[in-house]
Structure formats: structure tokens, C-alpha cells
Amino acid sequence: MRDVYYDQLDGIIDELVTMTHQVQSAVRRASQALLEGDAEVAEDVISRDAEIDAERERIEERSFELLALQQPVAGDLRMLVAALRMVADLERMGDLSVHVAKVARLRVPGTAVPEAMVPTIARMAEVAQDMVGKVADIIAERDVDAAYALEQADEEMDSLRSSSFRKMLGDDWEHGVEPAVDIALLGRYYERIADHAVSLARRVVYLVTGQNPHMLDA
């Protein structure tokens, strides 16, 4: 009976990894739609968000069932508590990908990103996608060292966001208000995806050690 219980716990971790890969795909394809002005890809990201939402519901239901039926303690309880918090972060990251896709769709047949801003936004998209991919590995391996190391990527994202603001507020900005609003929103979306990735990594630290990371609030 206990073997079945531990299989169920492991299954929840596997589903978290699956959900993280779904989010990574959403970030990648939303960024593709944004930079290429591809309305079809944007629509696909928007429609597939329901799959991410459904995955959250499945993980929550299974976690609550184990909490109710097994009354776990110690590490098992931490795992279920962490899982319930993780799915909220992952669902929000999916929502943020949808926001990126909607900006892309709004500007078709053009693109929302002026040519001068493409390198910055493309790098933000790359960092966000990479961070989500690393989170999947961190969850799967319960890798505390990698969880702490993810902070460095978040620092790059913050730097990129600051750079985008400097360019928008510079005297040589010639693209008008609408593109500036788009860039400000996109920067915020990618920054929040990165923030949620860091939050997920902290959950893994909590799961493994029982302690919240000291450098940032959980």
C-alpha cells in the first residue's frame, strides 16, 4: 500500500515536470509569434493555454486527495505543499505567455518589436525560455545547487529590462508611443516569467531542505 502511495507522490513530481515543459513550449512559441509576426502560432499558444490550466487542476486534485487520505508528514507533506504552490506559478507563466502571444497577434501583419529592439527582446525571450527549461530539470532532479544558480539568469533578465527602458526613454527613440507601450509590456511579461521561475526554484529548495532560501523571500 505504501508503495502505491510513494508512486503517487513520484507521479505528482513527474506531472510538474510535464507542466513545466508545456510552459516552456508556450514561452518559445509565443516569442516566435512575437518576433516573426505569426498570427497562427499566436493563436495556437492562446488556445493551448487551456491544456496548462487543465494540468494544474489534475495536479491539485491528486495533491489534495493524498493530503486527505494519507495525512502525510515531514518531507511528504512539504512535497505536496510545494506542488500546490508550484502549479500556481506555472499556470501564471502560461498566462504570461498568452499575453505575449496577444501582443504579437494585435500587431499582425506587422510585428510589435521595432528592429532596434529585436536583439534585446529576443534575448529576454531566450533567457525566459532557458530558465523554464532549467526549472524542469531542477524539479525532476531536486537539484538545490541548480536552484540557487538560477538567480544569475534572473539578474540578466533584470538587466535586459533596464536596458529596454533606457532605449525607450532615450532622445533617439523614434518609434512613437504605441511601440513603446508594447515593449514596456513585453519586458514586464518576460521579467515576470523569470520571477516565477525563481519562485519555482525556491520551492524545490524548500522541498529538499525544509528551509526557505535565505537570500530572497519565499
Query: Residue 157 belongs to what H/E stretch?
Result: helix 144-169
Question: pLDDT digit string (tens) for 1-59?
Answer: 567 777 888 899 999 999 999 999 999 999 999 999 999 999 999 999 999 999 999 99
Is the Cβ–Cβ distance between 41 and 111 less than 8 Å?
A: no
- Tell me the per-residue pLDDT of 63-118, one tens digit each, with 9 for 90 and over: 999 888 877 777 788 889 889 999 999 999 999 999 999 999 999 999 999 999 99
Domain ranges of the chain: 2-209
Q: Identify which of 151, 60, 51 has the alpha carbon closest to the alpha carbon of residue 97.
A: 51
pTM above 0.85, yes or no: yes
Which class is 2-209 in CATH?
A: mainly alpha
